Amino acid sequence: LMLAVLLAVWGVAQVKRVQVQRELTHLRLVQERDAAARQAAESQLHLLQAQIQPHFLFNTLAALQHWVDAGDPRAGPLLRDLTGFLRRSTSLLAQTEVPLADEAEAARQYLRILQARLGERLQFSIDIDDTSGAQRLPAGILLTLVENAVEHGISPALRGGTVQVWARTQGGRLVLEVRDDGAGLALPLVDGLGLANCRQRLQHRHGPQATLSLQPLQPGACARVEVKTA
């Protein structure tokens, strides 16, 4: 009887051991799969950053190229401003996420540089409260939206226009808007490289908790980012 009991206990123990081993193996496989998925997502994120960075920098340089070609005496001071901006923006874009306030300062420098070229044709305002400024977003989101507003909204409009950057944290969500009263959206709406990358990077970082939408205005357009913060 004792032998039968011992054999039964041993058998149960062996079954439990096998079950535990299977569970540990399954858990290890899940962790490895999750780690691989995270690595793939991070690799894709870095690839998207690499696409945004030269796109943005080359567009900025092209916007000022004619100052140098024309031998305008204002080219020297303007290029010094550009150097400072490129230093800041390159540092920001090398990071995965940055506080919105830091990127807003880079956007302010960028708009000042273009304002020097466009004169009265470009006006801008940036209104971001402290709470929103402390929120972190994938680097390059705001700069890309501002660049698009100037390139596709203000530059094509003969009268020029105004770019407005606004952000608030409302009901546990960060709301960021970049508005312009320029040429407006071309129909049908098609994302360019910059907007497509912004959507993908927000998706990688925040999943369904983040959205990026374009809204036509009369006149102009509004790019709106919403991210759940709590």
Nearest to 84 by CA among 113, 42, 52, 127: 113
Q: Which amino acid is at 48?
A: L
pLDDT in the model for residue 6: 58
* The predicted structure's pLDDT at residue 7: 61
pLDDT at res. 58:
72
Nearest by Cα to 165 from 103, 78, 216:
103
In this predicted structure, what is the pLDDT of residue 186?
73
As a whole number of angstroms, the distance between CA 132 and CA 118 comes to 30
For the chain, the residue count is 230
Going edge to edge, which strands form the sheet with 122-128?
A: 122-128, 161-170, 173-180, 221-228, 210-216
pLDDT score of 69: 84
User: What is this structure's pTM?
Assistant: 0.73
Which pLDDT score is estimated for 210?
94
What is the full per-residue pLDDT of the chain (230 aa) written as tens digits? 555 555 655 665 666 666 667 776 777 776 766 666 556 555 555 555 555 556 556 766 776 677 788 888 777 777 787 788 878 877 887 788 899 999 999 899 889 888 887 888 999 999 999 999 999 998 889 988 998 899 889 988 888 999 999 999 988 999 999 999 998 877 766 667 778 888 888 888 888 999 999 999 989 999 999 999 87
Residue 118 confidence (pLDDT): 82
